Amino acid sequence: MKENCCENTEPKKSLNFIEQIVENDLKEGLNGGRIQTRFPPEPNGYLHIGHAKAICMDFGIAEKYNGVCNLRFDDTNPVKEDVEYVDSIQEDIQWLGFHWHKLFYASDYFQQLHDLAIRFIKEGKAYVDEQSAEVIAQQKGTPTQAGIESPYRNRPIEENLELFEQMSKGLIPDGKMVLRAKIDMGHSNMHFRDPIMYRIITTHPHHRTGTQWKVYPMYDFAHGQSDYFEGVTHSICTLEFEVHRPLYDWYLDQFAGADYRPKQREFNRLNLNYTVMSKRKMLQLVQEGLVAGWDDPRMPTICGLRRRGYTPESIRSFIDKIGYTKVEGTIDVSLLEHSIREDLKPKAARVCAILDPIKLIITNYEEGKKEILVSENNPENEELGTREMIFGRELYIERADFMENAPKDFFRLSPMGREVRLKSAYIVQATGCKKDEYGNIVEVYCTYDVNTKSGTEGGNRKVKSTINWVEVDSAVNAEVRLYDRLFSVEDPSSSEEDFRTLLNPDSLKVLNDCKVEAWLKDAKPLAHFQFLKVGYFTVDQDSTPNHLVFNRTVSLKDTWAKKV
Ligand code: ATP
Ligand code: MG
């Protein structure tokens, strides 16, 4: 691309602060100008939109600075981890459009980490503590008050080696002993107060190493070390790890060579309103059947958003908009909804779908006659071309598009002589309706003007409103699932009440008797459409050839903005 060219009006995007750090490091020739990042999910749940923010950062930095980003499963706690999560995480990252250089697991380093722990013991930097977790926690002290040293802190090195070996062989029951780093119980950073390095877990086999290991490293003892073993240059994570950074560096100082060090850097995590993103809470929703699974379209998970009809592009542009800072905050979910509207606007074909159908009979239209009309798929994107719509004497229209005794400002169908255009078809005028024994309208009657066909000269005649329709004989039945926000309050986690009582009772409405154009008959899951005047929809995986199911991705307009 030409530089300094006046015609290049694309605004130059300013660097985020992590990019600035990376650029400075490159300028200084740190690590020989090599850039390597990693995305380190714990396989104990499905990825959510917050993870997408970390993914865009980790993979984005590598892409931008000709580096590599590896995927590393942080699988150091077999109690909660599972291959189901390992598989879904890989699928979701790829769907978002990112590709890792290499795939690693923290468990690849179990032997190296264990060896390192023994080295720490031998150097007098670690000891086996026999106190319970509760007592250890009580002895931590407070930020202003020093902690209490464990009575086991100064046991001889030989004894520590012997006990750690017993722990490692499964001879000690879970919870009876831990290996702790011997640092400083009076340190101003609480993480330095003899942090636990290893704990015993024999109750759950590991998803990769089975029952080979009886002791497992803690996050702090595993993460920086894994970064170092792999050659990571920038270990980017969220702000809650900032207070862990000195310990990350301290551990490295104990064994790493001086020529190369990974750097931990932190950014603000994504918090979104009207949802929960803690894995524990999401798991609860799934296990208690409060949602239909991890991929329920109301969930903030990547697979839930995908099933809801979100595109990778919309998620990435959302992440791009919110940016990266050092300040925690909460993002309004309407910004995410805006991103998908913006993305689908030019991409989705705009079709007629009748959600609450009522029959419209054109009394002056020949019985049995069918016409093929042509409609543009998206007036904002000619590339999407046109499609054929079958027209006939009997159509379905939205019940709300007809009113028997309409007020003056009702411009749709009513038997008051008002003209209305049927989308891409003719102008009609309502003449009356039929009611059942309870007074409910069951059919609407109208006449059409043969000279007003869209695409002909008469088609240019303007009337106040256009309504959607689907021809009765060719219409395809569809189930439409209208999804809305999962919670009815902005921050379900901050409330005194149990978050499960704050679910939005209207987060899903199922309409079973909808009619859509025949053109949609073969639509495949995840295809996107705009239902004219209603919103954006995608085909759900529950669809069968005889039963189409559509999920509402988002309404055309933000309906929540009015409510607050
Ligand atoms: P848990 O809920 O168990 O603490 P987690 O949400 O931190 O887990 P991990 O699998 O440990 O999930 O996260 C992998 C990476 O994603 C980490 O680097 C973490 O910082 C980042 N991450 C997690 N949640 C968010 C979020 N809401 N916004 C941005 N990044 C996130
Ligand atoms: Mg975590």
Tens-place pLDDT, residues 446-493 = 999 999 999 999 999 999 999 999 999 999 999 999 999 999 999 999
Q: Is the CB–ligand 1 distance for residue 238 below 6 Å?
A: yes
CA dihedral 124, 130, 135, 137 (to 10 degrees): 50
Ligand 1 near 282 CB (within 6 A): no
Cα–Cα distance measured from residue 475 to residue 521, given in angstroms and rounded to the nearest whole number: 9
Nearest residue (by CA) to ligand 1, atom 29, is 269
- Determine phi and psi for 270, rounding to 5 degrees: -85, 125
Residues 6+ apart with CB under 8 A from 227: 38, 235, 262, 264
Distance 129 CA to ligand 1 centre (A): 30
SS3 176: coil
pLDDT tens-place string over residues 508-520: 999 999 999 999 9
Phi/psi zone of residue 299: left (φ > 0), alpha (ψ -120 to 50 degrees), beta?
beta
DSSP 8-state assignment for residue 255? H
For the chain, which residues score pLDDT lower than 70?
A: 1-12, 562-564
Cβ atoms 470, 396 nearer than 8 A: yes
**In contact, 476 and 515? CB cutoff 8 Å:** yes
- Ligand 1 atom with the smallest distance to the CA of 271 is 27
Give the residue, by CA position, lying nearest to ligand 1 atom 18: 237
- Ligand 1 mean position to 514 CA, how many Å? 40
In angstroms, what is the span from residue 64 Cα to ligand 2's centroid?
25
* Residue of 38, 39, 51 with the most ligand 1 atoms within 8 Å of its CB, for mutation: 51
Q: Under a CB-based contact definition with an 8 Å cutoff, are residues 300 and 277 in contact? A: yes
Residue identifier of the C-alpha nearest atom 14 of ligand 1: 41
Report the alpha-carbon distance of residue 514 to residue 516 in Å, rounded.
Answer: 7
Atom 3 (ligand 1) nearest CA: 279
Assess whether the C-beta atom of 252 lies below 6 angstroms from ligand 1.
no
- Which of 286, 299, 287, 280 lies closest to 486 in space, CA to CA? 299
Question: Are 359 and 394 contacting, i.e. CB atoms less than 8 angstroms apart?
Answer: yes
Between the CA of 42 and the centroid of ligand 2 the distance, in Å, is 7
Strands (E), 50-136: 68-73, 103-105, 126-129
Separation of alpha carbons 201 and 222, rounded Å? 16
Is the minimum distance from the CB of 268 to ligand 1 under 6 angstroms?
Answer: no
Residue 106 near ligand 1, beta carbon < 6 Å: no
What DSSP state is assigned to residue 130?
-
Ligand 1 touching residue 359 (CB < 6 A): no
| Ligand 1 near 270 CB (within 6 A) | yes
Contact criterion met (CB below 8 Å) for 389 and 471: yes
Q: For residue 77, give the amino acid letter.
A: N
Relative to beta strand 470-471, strand 394-398 is: antiparallel
Nearest C-alpha to atom 10 of ligand 1 is from which residue?
41
Q: Are 405 and 355 in contact (CB under 8 A)?
A: no
Residue 13: its pLDDT value, please?
78
- Best CA proximity match to 215, nearest among 42, 76, 74: 76
pLDDT one-digit tens code per residue, 108-159: 999 999 999 999 999 999 999 999 999 999 999 999 999 999 999 999 999 9
Which two three-digit tokens encode residue 197?
A: 């390095």
The SS3 of residue 465 is coil
Q: Are 402 and 420 in contact (CB under 8 A)?
A: no
Residue 231 Cα to ligand 1 middle (Å): 21
pLDDT of 9 reads 56
What is the residue whose two structure tokens read 């250890």? 136
Structure tokens at 17: 């602060």
Distance between CA atoms of 34 and 39, rounded to whole angstroms? 17
Of the bound ligands, which one is closest to the alpha carbon of residue 282?
A: 1
Distance, CA of 357 to CA of 478 (rounded, Å): 11
Can you tell me the distance from the alpha carbon of 564 to that of 562, in angstroms, rounded to the nearest whole number? Answer: 6
Contact present, 483 and 552 (Cβ < 8 Å): yes
What's the predicted TM-score (pTM) here? 0.94
Q: Quick check: CB of 38 below 6 Å from ligand 1?
A: no
- Atom 1 (ligand 1) nearest CA: 279
Instruction: Measure the CA–CA gap between 113 and 216, rounded to whole angstroms.
Output: 9
pLDDT at position 4: 45
Q: Whose CA is nearest to atom 22 of ligand 1?
A: 51
Q: Is 252 helix (H, G, I), strand (E, B) or coil?
A: helix
Say what the pLDDT of residue 8 is.
52
Q: List, in order, residues 6 or more apart from 432 with CB less than 8 Å away.
A: 415, 444, 445
User: DSSP states of 34-68 as a string?
Assistant: --EEEE---SSS--BHHHHHHHHHHHHHHHHTT-E
Whether the CB of 217 sits within 6 Å of ligand 1: no
Known catalytic residues?
A: 42, 269, 279
Compute the distance from residue 226 Cα to the ligand 2 centre, in Å.
15
The tokens for 44 are 């104990």
240 CA distance to ligand 2 middle (Å): 9
- CA 476 vs CA 482, 518, 547: distances in Å: 18, 6, 8
Domains detected in the chain: 17-267 (3.40.50.620), 270-352+475-564 (2.40.240.10), 358-468 (2.40.240.10)
Cα Dmax for the chain = 102
Phi, psi of 414 (to 5 degrees): -160, 155
